[in-house]
Amino acid sequence: METLTTIDELGFARALQEDMLEDTTSDHALLEATRTGDQDAFAELVSRYRNQITSYIYRMTNDYDGAVDLAQETFVRVYRAADRYQRSYAFSTYIYRIATNLAISELRKRKRRKLVSLTGFFLPSDGGEPKELNPPDCRPLQDSELVDTERRNAVQRAISTLPEKYRAPLILRDVEGRSYDEIAKILETSEGTVKSRISRARGFLREKMRAYL
Amino acid sequence: MRKNNCEEIRRELDELMLDEACSASAVEHLKRCPTCREFYETRTKLRQMVGSLGTVAAPPDFDFRLRARLANDSSSQGFHFWPLARKGLAFAAVLVVFLMGIIVVRNIVNQQTNREVAESKPVVPQPAPKLVAPVAPNTVSPSSELTAGVQPGTAPKNKSERSVTGPRVKRPLATVESASMGAQVISGSRIDSEATAVIPIDASLPSFKFSLDDGSGNARTISVPTVRFGSQRMLPNGHQFAQKGIW
């Protein structure tokens, strides 16, 4: 880390720190401004959360285009409901809750639609767990990046096979790095339930990822 | 006891964040228990793999698409008439079809019943009802009008009896010219029989005027223009089918 030598540089650093602090605490203020019709405030909110929300929904649905669409729907709902927003929760909790609900309803819709899945052809006759369409490639790979990509794809596929009630808390905890308290608020359940679901989700995932562990 | 201890340690390890240090008792336990150590290593590796997924970036045109969507939403907001209208129309159509069905079925049933009755019982000849000539307008009261043309004793008592006696006989109608009669004057809730509206009618006058008195001294005159028909405008010596220009 570079050492700051002049008074001006020190002052600038302090101001920058204050700006950053202001940035992290003013979601409510931005939404208040959005309520009064400030489009720039809403644009700022979008720029803060678009990647997080898109990524979260993508991890939930394993479909990038659908995730972008749902992320946009999340922001549309935030915009429309700006008048009804209450400050009882953090804004991030609020927006993640909307995103979670949208993702879960999308997963349920897909389940109802019963899309023909390629993994369906590999279903065992005794009704057990479906086998992975892409089994791990055991041949030695030259490029470590390829290995990482392959592993990440396998993790993503394994996550997408988890039941939705286990998927959301696992992603929020292990991918997004949220606290148990926050996850409980997002999912509108108790902290104990969240902990037990995450533990069970990891157990399921461990079984599915046995070849990589 | 040992199993319980392992469960507690595993729970504690599971709840920690990846970069979070575990307690001294857990460290001690991990040194002694190979199963828990294996569990911890596997879980840590799994969590690292899941954590390595990272964040996926939104597309560059995300903001633009969002703005377009919001603009589209705001333009399409407001009262959505068409879905309601569609439901209403569908309901009305169903109702109309239902009512038409009822009418058709009822007609068919009535026709069948009439045919069966006509076939099963001979028609009893009824004396022709006496036609009562229309009474002079000023002398017939509305109550007498109701009974005009109906012979006492011959009136059918109910619907079934009427259908048995044969085809309906057209009743002679008596007409009452109520326009030239004095209307009852109502003052408050009682009918004032003394105060009557005077309606002078003079057909020769160009307009039809009559005055009403509500019994409390308030009189009102209403003028109705005379309706002229073509025959009134015909010349006395003119031909009915005369060409234009004779009028």
**pLDDT at position B156:** 47
| Distance in Å, alpha carbon of A207 to nearest chain B alpha carbon | 11
Long-range contact list for B53-56, CB < 8 A, 24+ apart?
B53/A59, B53/A152, B53/A155, B53/A156, B53/A175, B54/A55, B54/A175, B55/A51, B55/A52, B55/A55, B56/A51, B56/A54, B56/A55, B56/A58, B56/A59, B56/A64, B56/A67
Residues B224/B236, Cβ–Cβ less than 8 Å:
no
Q: Would you say residue A27 has pLDDT above 70? A: yes
Q: Do A202 and B70 lie within an 8 Å CB cutoff?
A: no
Cα(B189)–Cα(A126) distance, rounded to whole angstroms? 88
State the DSSP string of chain B.
Answer: -HHHHHHHHHHHHHHS-TTPPPPHHHHHHHHH-HHHHHHHHHHHHHHHHHHTT-PPPPPTTHHHHHHHHHHHHHHT-S--HHHHHHHHHHHHHHHHHHHHHHHHHHHHHHHHHHHHHHHHSPPPPPPPPPPPPPPPGGG--HHHHHHTT--TTTS-SSHHHHHHS-SPPPPP-----GGGSPPEEEETTEEEEEEE------TTSSEEEEEEE-SSS-EEEEEEEPP--GGGGS-TT--TTPPTT--
Q: Do B58 and A43 lie within an 8 Å CB cutoff?
A: no
**pLDDT at position B62:** 92
**pLDDT at position A115:** 56
A149-181 as b/e: b if 16+ CB within 10 A: eebeebbebbbeebebebbbbbbbbbbbebebe
Nearest CA in chain A to B45: A213
Summarize the confidence of residues A50-74 as an average pLDDT.
Answer: 93
Cα(B160)–Cα(B126) distance, rounded to whole angstroms? 16
pLDDT band (50, 70, 90) for residue A135: low
Strand partners, B196: B184
User: Chain A partners of B76 at a C-beta cutoff of 8 Å?
Assistant: none
Summarize the confidence of residues A132-143 as an average pLDDT.
Answer: 60
Summarize the confidence of residues A9-33 as an average pLDDT.
Answer: 60
B46, B58, B66: residue with CB nearest A213: B46
Residues B209/B195, Cβ–Cβ less than 8 Å:
no
A46, A64, A205: residue with CB nearest B66: A46
Q: Would you say residue A109 has pLDDT above 60? A: yes
* Joined tokens for residue A134: 């892409």
Summarize the confidence of residues A199-209 as an average pLDDT.
Answer: 90
Q: Do B57 and A54 lie within an 8 Å CB cutoff?
A: yes
Chain A contact present for B43, CB below 8 A: yes
**pLDDT at position B148:** 41
pLDDT band (50, 70, 90) for residue A143: confident
Q: Do B49 and A155 lie within an 8 Å CB cutoff?
A: yes
pTM for the model stands at: 0.54
Q: Would you say residue A7 has pLDDT above 50? A: no
**pLDDT at position B196:** 52
**pLDDT at position B1:** 43
DSSP-based three-state secondary structure for A36: coil
Nearest to B54 by CA among A65, A52, A116: A52
Summarize the confidence of residues A164-186 as an average pLDDT.
Answer: 92
| Distance in Å, alpha carbon of A165 to nearest chain B alpha carbon | 17
ipTM of the complex: 0.70
Nearest CA in chain B to A172: B51
User: Chain B partners of A159 at a C-beta cutoff of 8 Å?
Assistant: 50
Least confident of A74-83, A105-114, B104-113, B234-243: B234-243
The pLDDT profile of chain B, 247 residues, written as one tens digit per residue, is: 456 688 888 888 888 887 788 888 888 898 889 999 988 888 888 888 888 887 889 999 999 999 998 888 777 655 555 556 777 888 899 999 999 999 999 999 999 888 888 877 655 555 555 544 444 444 444 444 444 444 444 444 454 444 444 555 555 554 445 555 555 655 555 655 555 555 555 555 567 777 877 777 788 888 877 666 555 444 555 455 545 554 5
**pLDDT at position A184:** 94
pLDDT band (50, 70, 90) for residue A1: very low
Nearest to B18 by CA among A171, A173, A151: A173
Nearest CA in chain B to A199: B14
pLDDT band (50, 70, 90) for residue A99: very high
B47, B56, B65: residue with CB nearest A174: B47
pLDDT band (50, 70, 90) for residue A25: low
Question: Rounded mean pLDDT of chain A?
Answer: 80
Q: Would you say residue A183 has pLDDT above 70? A: yes
